A and B are shown apart, each in its own frame.
Chain A
Amino acid sequence: MTNHGRPCAAPKSGAMNEHSSPADDAQVIVVGGGHAGVEAAAAAARLGAATILVSGDPLRIATLACNPSIGGSAKGQLVREIDALGGVMAQLIDATALHARFLNESKGPSVRALRALADKPAYARAAQSLLAGKPNLRVVAAMAEDLVVEGGAIRGVVTADGAFLRARCVVLATGTFLGAKTFRGADVAAEGRFGEAPALGMSAALGRLGFPLARLKTGTPPRIDRTSVDVAQLSEQAPSPTPLPFSYRSPARFAGPQLPCWIALTNERTHDLVRQNLSRSPLYGLDLIRGIGPRYCPSIEDKVVKFAHNPTHQIFIEPEGWDEPTWYVGGFSTSLPADVQLEMLRTLPGCADVVMLRAGYAVEYDFVTPTELDPSLETRRVAGLFHCGQLNGTSGYEEAAAQGLIAGINAAHRALGRPALRLGRETSYIGTMIDDLVTKGVDEPYRMLTSRAEHRVVLRHDNADLRLTPIGHELGLIPDAEFAAFTARRNALKDAREAAERTRIGPTCIRTAVFGAGATLADALRRPELSFADVAGLFPRPIDPAIGERAHIEIAMEGYVRRAEAAIAQAAGDEAKTIPPAFAYVAIDQLSREAREKLERVRPRTLGAAARIPGLTPADIAVLRVMLHRIRQSIPA
């Protein structure tokens, strides 16, 4: 562990309370003002910890650096969960959405998800003013360049201008800025994001502390001038005609005018340009990029090369704001030289005279292997140090925000002497993601996907509040008034379900569905061909449609939920068997060497987590089970 003995004059902090030691500037320091940092800082401050958010440029806090969209399949569930726990992302997007749609409505209630496009500058402003008004929170404009560790515990950060900010806990939410380089053809720049300086010292600090660092790559497409596109040649994607708020707490109204998006198709001329210029690609011909990119977000180069048989690829053109001149060219991420990008754009329908306002680029950055973390997102190596967001190898605003919220909660809890919050896979997408990260690690930027959530039948968009709001209230993130509204909602839902089970409707016909004597409203709601609206009038008392829709989902899903809950209950035993943090796997000869190495590296918290480590066999787990039991027996109760 390094010990920076450098004596520093500690800047005096305004926000202090009785839990701080007098020498500390804050109880929690959050480094980085992206979506992870915003949630972390807001949660820590809300929980009563004196918090400093260190940002290289406070005016760029909560920038939507890539696409303008929040939510989507699986990500939408994350946003709902953030909201249900008491985070801020859902309310920020609700206040600034210019286009929203429900996805997967016909594919099943457990995969329904909301996606909305934000007015990017409005979103960032909303976040900045939210933070500005937070008690216990101070924003400091500085680049954090070093970490100070004493006796295995974090003591604070050192900024580029040499100031030492002391705190009990530090949350690193540094995004793509660590050791970052951007690529446009042969043009390589030291940037964390378009036009912003990278963080160079922090990678070295983490390396000195022994954290294993590796490189990942991601990219962003070009932005075009919206006045230079002939949209008559594109196909239009209309927004939802009714308001679709993410937050349980947001009013059901539009934040402003709702705008359409556009779909364009690439063609052979586009693909020819890609192929002709591969020699100028930093990914292909120039071979400059070492980091691994996300497979679910390939560059247009990758699409043309790896899916050569596809005659065309879809391009999604999306507005970046009500008054913004730029449109985002989704699906067109590229690191080819800017001149080639413009030529390629001009092959698209309606884009013959398009004006490119900013070229796309690839960015390569350092991340720390997330198997270094406890599920509380505290590092095992340094007490009081928390990692979240892209630093953990994830991608996406929602993934970052969800981790930021958990890291912020746990940093505050640690500083305030409260127990850590760890969410299991069965509680949430958030818990599923964190368990994936800390037990499996990442080898490409991690994106939340429904297929990663084996319990998704119970982890739905509609029931995020039932799952997490009681936890959020207990933590102190959900105010009493909001919790009272939640309780009323929960009771109304219960009443609606009971009324449906009790109310007899048969014999009757509803649309094409025939019911015999003794059939109930619940029977009708179990028919896939009927909607809540079809039977709403049959309830003995009028039901709020939002509550009715939820009751419908719960009744229709009942059998599937029961099966899922049985599977969860079966796994619960192993999830409850904790493994001592210093358990000596190396000493267990019966484990294969590979298993010992993996267990030493990941240090799973529970037997259940151990079983999920890739490459461990059922026999390894059985051996571990026996040895753990021996330890428990040999420790006097």
Chain B
Amino acid sequence: MSEHDTIAAIATPPGRGAIAIVRCSGPAARDIAGRVFRSRAPLLDRVATYGSIVDAAGQRIDRGLAIAMDAPRTVTGEDLVELHIHGSPITARETLNGLLAAGARLAEPGEFTRRGFLNGKLDLSAAEAVADLIAAESRAAAHAAAANLNGGLRRLVDSARDALRTILEELAGAIDFPDEVPAPDPGDVHARVATVAQALAALSRDGERGRLLREGFSLAIVGPPNAGKSSLLNALVGEERAIVSAQAGTTRDTIEESFAIDGVLVRAIDTAGLRSSADAVERLGMERARAALAAAALALIVVDGAAPLEAPARDVLRATRERARIVFFNKRDAGSIGYDARETPEAGALWGSTFDPASIATIREAIAQAGWRSERIDATRPYLGGARHVQAVEAARRALELALETLAAGAPVDLIAGDLAAASAALGEITGGAVTEELLDGIFARFCIGK
């Protein structure tokens, strides 16, 4: 853990709030934030700047404010950038992921405070408090990890480590006791390393699933006014109403309701109708609708199917063409006459009625399909407990990829030992355990060695 690298973390408490703040501190804070935050105006010291949060592909995740604070007059004593975004856990997570992908390291518990202390930003008497904080947070994290690790994750990580350790034992045995232990076959080692790498890749994907299970899935319902958005939301929530609690949105004009599909909590935001308007209040509502749309993982576009397609509907359809969405043409009732179906360019659009249970079931299925690629969500399967776990598994997987490259190139087997040990150590951060001692115990238990 170096104090010369740049760290990032979500600064606001978990859960929903009006805004979320994602912080980034360290020598590269401005560079890293600059890859995630786009604005017309440059970031000035201690000036809030409006702009877009974008993902690695340049796609906008959200709009928000960035505030850059230059060292040393910051809480950490380092260059610091704060990104103020809309208060959705998913948006905050994606923003953080963007910073990590751009080169930041996930902050350790209490690390912002600790850096502040180390840079002389805190009173000396705060040292005990910082130490208390670290001790307390690590205990809390350990308890949380233990709770999660009792289940499948521990078994899965342990079995990956066991597989790696077995290979390392065979390598080390053959290297340190060449007269007594035969060298493992490189082809066989390749197959075994590949199996572990695949298991870790699957676990990484399950990491996404874990996130879904913890935080739910955000859905923005958008469309022109009076297309049937609210009645659709009511219909979606209706059968779940007994098990979900309605929750007012943070603004007067967007309503959030939650319901479950496959055990995943879907947080649906019913937005103000989108159309051009001169009314200032209505324009504010539409601005928020667009922000909700940008932040949501999936858009559900509702268009009146009983009337000819008008400009607002065309605008919404055009504006959302590039993003994950479901288009639903709402026929008010079976008897009404819609416009000519050939007029709609929307392949794969759904037709139906918000009053027809079959239509609602189709929409629910479509949400699941688009939302989690129809992979079965099984809450009893192991998933990674947090970004630190995801990072550890990713680090392990990358190390194994390097080992596989080395083996594929026909290089001597010893050259993979470092990567296998690194992978095992990364996984050890999840479950604990020192590589070297376990390894030696294994060698001496398995091989009869010694002259």
Q: Which residues of A line the B interface, CB within 8 A? A: 67, 73-74, 103-104, 106-111, 294-298, 303, 306-307, 310, 313-314, 316, 330-331, 333, 449-452, 454, 456-457, 528-529, 556-557, 560, 563-564, 570, 573-574, 588-591, 614, 617-619, 622-623, 625-627, 629-630, 633-634
B235 proximal to A (CB < 8 A) = no
The residue that A110 contacts in the complex, of B139, B414, B440, with Cβ under 8 A, is B414
- CB–CB A314/B135 < 8 A: no
Whether A627 touches B131, Cβ cut-off 8 Å, given contacts A67-B451, A331-B451, is yes
Kindly report which residue of chain B lies nearest to residue A304, judged by CB atoms. Answer: B448
List residues 110-159 of chain B with CB under 8 A from any CB of chain A: 110, 114, 117-118, 120, 124, 127-128, 130-132, 134-135, 138-139
Chain B positions 163 through 200: 1 when the CB is less than 8 Å from some CB of chain A, otherwise 0: 00000100010111111100100000000000000000
A532 to chain B, nearest CB (A): 15
Whether A590 touches B134, Cβ cut-off 8 Å, given contacts A108-B413, A298-B448, A564-B418, is yes
Whether A296 touches B450, Cβ cut-off 8 Å, given contacts A107-B175, A316-B179, A590-B132, is yes
Query: In the assembly, what is the distance between CA of A106 and CA of B448, in Å?
Result: 22
Whether A297 touches B450, Cβ cut-off 8 Å, given contacts A73-B178, A74-B176, A633-B120, is yes
Residue with the highest number of chain B CB atoms closer than 10 Å, among A103, A107, A560, A626: A626
- CB–CB B449/A626 < 8 A: no
Q: Which 10 A-B pairs have the closest CB atoms?
A: A108-B414, A619-B138, A108-B412, A330-B451, A295-B444, A451-B172, A590-B131, A307-B448, A297-B450, A630-B127
B317 to chain A, nearest CB (A): 50
Query: In the assembly, what is the distance between CA of A629 and CA of B121, in Å?
Result: 13
The residue that A528 contacts in the complex, of B131, B176, B411, B418, with Cβ under 8 A, is B411
The residue that A107 contacts in the complex, of B179, B183, B439, B440, with Cβ under 8 A, is B183
- CB–CB B114/A626 < 8 A: yes
Chain A residues near B413: list those with CB within 8 A. 107-108
Query: In the assembly, what is the distance between CA of A633 and CA of B175, in Å?
Result: 47
B3 to chain A, nearest CB (A): 7
A305 to chain B, nearest CB (A): 11
Kindly report which residue of chain B lies nearest to residue A563, judged by CB atoms. Answer: B418
Query: In the assembly, what is the distance between CA of A333 and CA of B449, in Å?
Result: 12
Whether A451 touches B414, Cβ cut-off 8 Å, given contacts A590-B131, A617-B138, A629-B117, is no
Query: In the assembly, what is the distance between CA of A109 and CA of B417, in Å?
Result: 13
Residue with the highest number of chain B CB atoms closer than 10 Å, among A73, A104, A614, A622: A622
Chain A residues near B177: list those with CB within 8 A. 73, 296
B56 to chain A, nearest CB (A): 24
- CB–CB B439/A623 < 8 A: no
Chain A residues near B176: list those with CB within 8 A. 73-74, 296, 449-451
Whether A104 touches B451, Cβ cut-off 8 Å, given contacts A622-B108, A626-B117, is no
Chain A residues near B114: list those with CB within 8 A. 622, 625-626
Chain B residues near A528: list those with CB within 8 A. 409-412
Query: In the assembly, what is the distance between CA of A619 and CA of B132, in Å?
Result: 10
- CB–CB A454/B421 < 8 A: yes
Chain A residues near B415: list those with CB within 8 A. 108, 110, 457, 557, 560
Chain B residues near A623: list those with CB within 8 A. 131, 134-135
Chain A residues near B421: list those with CB within 8 A. 454
- CB–CB A573/B2 < 8 A: yes
Whether A296 touches B175, Cβ cut-off 8 Å, given contacts A573-B2, A590-B131, A630-B124, is no
B173 to chain A, nearest CB (A): 9
Chain B residues near A456: list those with CB within 8 A. 418
Chain B residues near A629: list those with CB within 8 A. 117-118, 127
List residues 373-426 of chain B with CB under 8 A from any CB of chain A: 409-415, 417-418, 421
Query: In the assembly, what is the distance between CA of A138 and CA of B362, in Å?
Result: 96
B436 proximal to A (CB < 8 A) = yes
The residue that A313 contacts in the complex, of B4, B412, B448, with Cβ under 8 A, is B448
- CB–CB B2/A107 < 8 A: no
A73 to chain B, nearest CB (A): 5
Chain B residues near A618: list those with CB within 8 A. 138
Query: In the assembly, what is the distance between CA of A414 and CA of B365, in Å?
Result: 79
B434 proximal to A (CB < 8 A) = yes
B324 to chain A, nearest CB (A): 38
Chain B residues near A588: list those with CB within 8 A. 131
Chain B residues near A109: list those with CB within 8 A. 412
Kindly report which residue of chain B lies nearest to residue A316, judged by CB atoms. Answer: B451
Kindly report which residue of chain B lies nearest to residue A110, judged by CB atoms. Answer: B414
Query: In the assembly, what is the distance between CA of A451 and CA of B108, in Å?
Result: 30
Chain B residues near A529: list those with CB within 8 A. 410
The residue that A627 contacts in the complex, of B127, B179, B410, with Cβ under 8 A, is B127
What are 23 A-B pairs at a CB distance below 8 A?
A73-B178, A104-B178, A107-B413, A111-B414, A295-B444, A295-B449, A296-B177, A298-B450, A316-B451, A449-B440, A450-B414, A451-B440, A457-B415, A457-B418, A528-B412, A619-B135, A622-B108, A622-B110, A623-B131, A626-B114, A626-B127, A629-B117, A630-B124
- CB–CB A111/B135 < 8 A: no
Kindly report which residue of chain A lies nearest to residue B136, judged by CB atoms. Answer: A590
A521 to chain B, nearest CB (A): 18
Kindly report which residue of chain A lies nearest to residue B2, judged by CB atoms. Answer: A573
Contacts beyond the supplied A450-B175, A623-B134, A630-B127: 6 A-B pairs with Cβ under 8 Å: A296-B449, A333-B450, A450-B172, A570-B2, A629-B127, A633-B120
Kindly report which residue of chain B lies nearest to residue A560, judged by CB atoms. Answer: B415
B16 to chain A, nearest CB (A): 30
B443 proximal to A (CB < 8 A) = yes
Kindly report which residue of chain A lies nearest to residue B446, judged by CB atoms. Answer: A307
Kindly report which residue of chain B lies nearest to residue A529, judged by CB atoms. Answer: B410
B322 proximal to A (CB < 8 A) = no
Chain B positions 41 through 68: 1 when the CB is less than 8 Å from some CB of chain A, otherwise 0: 0000000000000000000000000000
Query: In the assembly, what is the distance between CA of A441 and CA of B173, in Å?
Result: 23
Residue with the highest number of chain A CB atoms closer than 10 Å, among B117, B415, B437: B415
- CB–CB B131/A626 < 8 A: yes
Chain A residues near B410: list those with CB within 8 A. 528-529
The residue that A449 contacts in the complex, of B134, B172, B448, B451, with Cβ under 8 A, is B172
- CB–CB B414/A107 < 8 A: yes
Kindly report which residue of chain B lies nearest to residue A306, judged by CB atoms. Answer: B448
- CB–CB A633/B124 < 8 A: yes
- CB–CB A619/B168 < 8 A: no
A470 to chain B, nearest CB (A): 26
Kindly report which residue of chain A lies nearest to residue B172, judged by CB atoms. Answer: A451
Kindly report which residue of chain A lies nearest to residue B414, judged by CB atoms. Answer: A108
Residue with the highest number of chain A CB atoms closer than 10 Å, among B175, B409, B415, B437: B175
The residue that A634 contacts in the complex, of B124, B175, B411, with Cβ under 8 A, is B124
Residue with the highest number of chain A CB atoms closer than 10 Å, among B1, B174, B421: B1
Query: In the assembly, what is the distance between CA of A614 and CA of B120, in Å?
Result: 32
Query: In the assembly, what is the distance between CA of A298 and CA of B176, in Å?
Result: 15
- CB–CB A626/B172 < 8 A: no
A448 to chain B, nearest CB (A): 9
A510 to chain B, nearest CB (A): 15
Query: In the assembly, what is the distance between CA of A106 and CA of B450, in Å?
Result: 22
Query: In the assembly, what is the distance between CA of A622 and CA of B135, in Å?
Result: 9
Kindly report which residue of chain A lies nearest to residue B412, judged by CB atoms. Answer: A108
Chain A residues near B168: list those with CB within 8 A. 451
Kindly report which residue of chain B lies nearest to residue A294, judged by CB atoms. Answer: B450
B403 to chain A, nearest CB (A): 11
The residue that B134 contacts in the complex, of A295, A316, A622, A633, with Cβ under 8 A, is A622
Query: In the assembly, what is the distance between CA of A633 and CA of B114, in Å?
Result: 14
List residues 1-59 of chain B with CB under 8 A from any CB of chain A: 1-4
Chain A residues near B127: list those with CB within 8 A. 626-627, 629-630
Chain A residues near B409: list those with CB within 8 A. 528
- CB–CB A296/B444 < 8 A: yes
Query: In the assembly, what is the distance between CA of A526 and CA of B14, in Å?
Result: 50
Kindly report which residue of chain B lies nearest to residue A261, judged by CB atoms. Answer: B179
List residues 93-112 of chain B with CB under 8 A from any CB of chain A: 108, 110
Chain B residues near A564: list those with CB within 8 A. 418
Chain B residues near A589: list those with CB within 8 A. 128
Query: In the assembly, what is the distance between CA of A591 and CA of B131, in Å?
Result: 9
Query: In the assembly, what is the distance between CA of A507 and CA of B108, in Å?
Result: 52
Kindly report which residue of chain A lies nearest to residue B175, judged by CB atoms. Answer: A111
